């Protein structure tokens, strides 16, 4: 036969096919994007509209002090969202304890648009008295007309 001809052996390719992993990751991303708005819970509050900056994505979940349309106070700490009505001094004590443990945690006020401005200011002053360095206000994005 052919003496000068040596047959080359094909080596098996040792590469990982990443296409299925990318497909799975994209499906998971879509699932999380769809379910994220559904997971957020809390007290039903009709927020005023206004253009504002959103919190940075890498920040800790904020502590949300809410005032509903009836003027009652609620507190949402992120992990344990309760619909328990609190007194103003109870809100201050709980938020003060959270801020002592996590001083960098943002605190925002979520108030119904029908609430008098005075109630919102009372809550903000109470929160600052509890040791909160700065208090943010939560709004809805304005609707384009």
In whole angstroms, give the CA distance from residue 78 to residue 61.
Answer: 6
What pLDDT does 25 receive? 94
Which of 45, 39, 61 is closest to 136 using CA atoms?
61
pLDDT tens series, the chain, 145 aa: 556 566 677 777 778 888 889 999 999 999 888 877 666 555 565 655 556 556 555 567 788 888 888 888 888 876 655 677 888 888 888 888 888 888 888 888 888 888 888 888 888 888 888 888 878 777 776 665 4
Q: Which two tokens stand for residue 78?
A: 């992120």
Between strands 73-76 and 63-67, the pairing is antiparallel
For the question of whether the overall pTM of this predicted structure is more than 0.95, the answer is no
């Amino acid at each position: 036969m052919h003496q000068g001809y040596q047959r080359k052996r094909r080596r098996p390719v040792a590469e990982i096919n990443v296409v299925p992993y990318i497909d799975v990751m994209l499906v998971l991303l879509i699932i999380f994007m769809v379910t994220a708005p559904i997971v957020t819970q809390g007290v039903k509050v009709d927020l005023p509209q206004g253009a504002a900056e959103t919190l940075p994505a890498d920040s800790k979940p904020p502590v949300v002090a809410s005032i509903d349309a009836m003027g009652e106070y609620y507190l949402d700490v992120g992990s344990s969202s309760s619909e328990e009505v609190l007194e103003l001094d109870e809100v201050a004590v709980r938020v003060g304890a959270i801020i002592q443990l996590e001083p960098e945690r943002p605190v925002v006020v979520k108030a119904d648009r029908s609430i008098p401005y005075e109630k919102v200011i009372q809550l903000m002053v109470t929160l600052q008295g509890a040791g909160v360095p700065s208090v943010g206000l939560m709004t809805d994005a304005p609707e384009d007309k």
